[in-house]
């Protein structure tokens, strides 16, 4: 079976370096925070161009950002419904209300044109999520935030290295939250995350909240938590961070290869996007069966997922047919957060794009270390399922185009 993501493939060739980093930490006798965490914070800070704080997970980074802003009962936070659970759960766990906004049908991120109507005097913040690797429309989101005096917490769990007009996602809003869950672009060997805070005073407060709300040992200014990063995870992440650019480049090349192979197929269509969300410069043709993922101008993607939209109502049948030929796929996400039992409100918000995406999305295998052979099998598999096994892609890429670690 060709897996959707093969974590072992990217770690195998780093094994010697990873084991040496482990041994150094084990021998040090210090396992929470410490110099390896500070070193990782410096290195990731240099990559992003802003100071970074290592934390225990992406979920805890979100919680920490919201706690730093004292968000709680009576407050509302606008966030997408089409995202991973943590984005809204962090809001609800603090007693505030997540207010769900519809998504862009092309980039999957929250649609800023739908945000304004949700803002009221209780609204404190917006959490844009840079979904599946592509940066959200931060210019529009920051404009709305400035106009209404709102905080912006960027959820960068899926998009470390994505950019908006050359600026890194996670450095455009007031906070950036990152996850190093094992399937992410920069992946740990367990749970780990990071937080960026643009305001130095708020950054100090977040530092205190990370360790039980104490600036000074055993003197607790705030009701914080244990959001500390493990030393071992930091040491391993420092090794993997050196390869992040290469791994993101491989992802980009694999996405380009899919695009090049699928575009000539009858029924596959790539929308021509303008800078703002929600609109394609050309209407999607009636005969389109599969919408290929693509980018809004000015916003890059680090392709954490390569996600098609199956427009024929046959998404699950397509997934089954691919599985039967040995190709794994997955659905991120089958149900919007607004419809999850734990978030259900009296009146279900009307989010037509989220509902449509949940019924249509299908992600194909893509991961660092995936060579041309398994990718060719996926390409051939999709072509055959579409009854076009004989269509030859234009100028296929060779393995020498792929970066090796
Ligand atoms: C968009 C998004 N936000 C938050 C998280 C939470 O990160 P973690 O699993 O590190 O807590 C994830 C992880 O899956 C995610 O994809």
Which pLDDT band holds residue 278 (cuts at 50, 70, 90)?
A: confident
Pocket test for ligand 1, best of 54, 84, 159 (most atoms within 8 A of CB): 84
Which atom in ligand 1 lies closest to the alpha carbon of residue 86? 4
Structure tokens at 327: 């190709």
Q: Does the C-beta of 329 come closer than 6 Å to ligand 1?
A: no
Rg over CA atoms, the chain: 21
Query: Does residue 63 share a domain with residue 136?
Result: yes
103 located within any domain: yes
Task: Report CA(202)–ligand 1 centroid distance (Å).
Answer: 22
**Structural domain ending residue among the three candidates 186, 212, 241:** 241
Q: Does the C-beta of 262 come closer than 6 Å to ligand 1?
A: no
Q: Does the C-beta of 253 come closer than 6 Å to ligand 1?
A: no
Query: Does residue 276 share a domain with residue 214?
Result: no
97 touches 118 (CB < 8 A): no
Query: Does residue 234 share a domain with residue 293?
Result: no
Q: Where are the beta strands (DSSP E) in 14-82?
A: 53-55, 76-80
**Structural domain ending residue among the three candidates 204, 222, 241:** 241
20 Rama sector, left if φ>0, alpha if ψ -120 to 50, beta otherwise: alpha
Predicted confidence at residue 396, as pLDDT, reads: 53
Structure tokens at 190: 């367990």
Scored b (16 or more CB within 10 A) or e, 78-87 reads bbbbbbbebb
Query: Does residue 141 share a domain with residue 109?
Result: yes
Query: Does residue 183 share a domain with residue 232?
Result: yes
Query: Does residue 149 share a domain with residue 43?
Result: yes
Each as own residue / partner, the long-range contacts of residues 321-328 (CB below 8 Å, 24 or more positions apart, any chain) are 321/385, 322/378, 322/381, 322/382, 322/385, 325/381, 325/384, 325/385, 326/1, 326/2, 326/377, 326/381, 327/1, 327/2, 327/364, 327/365, 327/377, 327/378, 327/381, 328/1, 328/2, 328/3, 328/4, 328/365
Counting the structural domains of the chain, the total is: 2
246 located within any domain: no
Query: Does residue 202 share a domain with residue 61?
Result: yes
Predicted confidence at residue 404, as pLDDT, reads: 47
In whole angstroms, give the CA distance from residue 161 to residue 159. Answer: 6
Q: Does the C-beta of 155 come closer than 6 Å to ligand 1?
A: yes
1 located within any domain: no
Which atom in ligand 1 lies closest to the alpha carbon of residue 181? 10
In whole angstroms, give the CA distance from residue 14 to residue 157. Answer: 23
Task: Report CA(151)–ligand 1 centroid distance (Å).
Answer: 20
Say whether pLDDT at 201 is over 60: yes
258 located within any domain: yes
Query: Residue written as tokens 């234009």?
Result: 394
Helix spans in 242-362 (H): 244-262, 315-324, 352-360
Mean pLDDT in residue range 121-125: 98
Predicted confidence at residue 196, as pLDDT, reads: 98
CATH number for 373: 3.90.1150.10
Mean pLDDT in residue range 168-194: 98
Say whether pLDDT at 125 is over 80: yes
Q: Does the C-beta of 58 come closer than 6 Å to ligand 1?
A: yes
**How far apart, in Å, are the Cα atoms of 266 and each of 31, 259, 269, 288, 290?**
56, 13, 8, 8, 9
Query: Does residue 165 share a domain with residue 27?
Result: yes
Pocket test for ligand 1, best of 5, 54, 57, 59 (most atoms within 8 A of CB): 59
Query: Does residue 172 share a domain with residue 83?
Result: yes
CB neighbour class for 152 (10 Å; exposed up to 12, middle 13-18, buried from 19) = buried
**How far apart, in Å, are the Cα atoms of 45 and each of 194, 233, 278?**
10, 16, 33
2 located within any domain: no
Residue 176 β-bridge partners = 154, 196
Task: Report CA(333)–ligand 1 centroid distance (Å).
Answer: 13
Query: Does residue 349 share a domain with residue 217?
Result: no
Handedness of CA 101, 105, 109, 111 (dihedral sign): negative
Query: Does residue 276 share a domain with residue 223?
Result: no
CB neighbour class for 30 (10 Å; exposed up to 12, middle 13-18, buried from 19) = exposed
In whole angstroms, give the CA distance from residue 293 to residue 381. Answer: 18
Write out pLDDT tens, residues 12-58. Answer: 999 999 999 999 999 999 999 999 999 999 999 999 999 999 999 99
300 touches 279 (CB < 8 A): no
Query: Does residue 303 share a domain with residue 174?
Result: no
Helix spans in 263-328 (H): 315-324
Quote the Cα angle for 13-14-19, to 5°: 130
95 located within any domain: yes
In whole angstroms, give the CA distance from residue 233 to residue 231. Answer: 6
Which atom in ligand 1 lies closest to the alpha carbon of residue 193? 10
**Structural domain ending residue among the three candidates 195, 210, 241:** 241
In whole angstroms, give the CA distance from residue 228 to residue 213. Answer: 12
Structure tokens at 265: 């197929």
Q: Which of 86-95, 240-249, 374-383, 388-397 bottoms out in mean pLDDT, i.e. has the lowest?
A: 388-397
Q: Which domain holds residue 235?
A: 7-241
pTM for this model (two decimals): 0.96
Which atom in ligand 1 lies closest to the alpha carbon of residue 83? 1
CATH number for 57: 3.40.640.10
Task: Report CA(86)–ligand 1 centroid distance (Å).
Answer: 6
Write out pLDDT tens, residues 340-396. Answer: 999 987 788 999 999 999 999 999 999 999 999 999 999 999 999 999 887 665 455
């Amino acid at each position: 079976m060709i897996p959707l993501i093969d974590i072992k493939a990217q770690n195998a060739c780093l094994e010697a370096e990873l084991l040496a980093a482990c041994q150094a930490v084990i021998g040090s006798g210090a396992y929470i925070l410490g110099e390896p965490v500070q070193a990782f914070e410096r290195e990731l800070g240099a990559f992003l161009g802003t100071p970074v704080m290592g934390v225990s997970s992406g979920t805890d980074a979100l919680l920490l950002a919201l706690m730093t802003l004292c968000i709680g009962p009576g407050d509302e936070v606008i966030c997408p419904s089409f995202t991973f659970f943590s984005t809204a759960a962090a809001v609800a766990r603090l007693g505030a209300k997540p207010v769900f906004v519809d998504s862009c049908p092309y980039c999957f991120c929250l649609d800023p044109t739908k945000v304004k109507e949700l803002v009221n005097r209780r609204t404190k913040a917006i959490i844009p999520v840079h979904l599946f690797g592509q940066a959200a429309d931060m210019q529009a989101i920051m404009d709305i935030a400035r106009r209404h005096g709102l905080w912006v917490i960027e959820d960068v769990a899926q998009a470390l290295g994505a950019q908006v007009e050359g600026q890194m996602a996670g450095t455009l809003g007031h906070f950036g939250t990152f996850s190093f869950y094992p399937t992410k672009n920069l992946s740990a060997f367990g749970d780990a995350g990071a937080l960026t805070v643009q305001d130095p005073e708020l950054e100090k407060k977040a530092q205190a909240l990370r360790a039980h709300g104490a600036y000074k040992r055993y003197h607790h200014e705030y009701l914080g938590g244990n959001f500390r990063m493990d030393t071992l995870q930091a040491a391993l992440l420092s090794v993997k961070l050196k390869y992040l650019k290469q791994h993101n480049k491989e992802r980009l090349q694999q996405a380009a290869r899919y695009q090049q192979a699928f575009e000539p197929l009858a029924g596959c269509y790539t929308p021509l996007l303008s800078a703002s969300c929600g609109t394609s410069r050309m209407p999607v043709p009636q005969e389109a069966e599969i919408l290929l993922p693509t980018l809004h101008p000015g916003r890059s993607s680090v392709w954490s997922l390569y996600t098609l939209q199956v427009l024929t109502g046959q998404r699950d049948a397509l997934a089954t047919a691919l599985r039967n030929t040995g190709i794994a796929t997955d659905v991120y996400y089958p149900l919007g957060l607004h419809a999850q039992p734990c978030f259900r409100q009296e009146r279900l918000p009307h989010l037509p794009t989220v509902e449509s995406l949940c019924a249509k999305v299908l992600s194909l295998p893509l991961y660092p270390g995936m060579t041309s052979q398994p990718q060719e099998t996926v390409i051939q598999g999709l072509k055959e399922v579409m009854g076009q096994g004989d269509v030859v892609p234009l100028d296929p890429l060779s393995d020498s185009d792929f970066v090796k670690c």
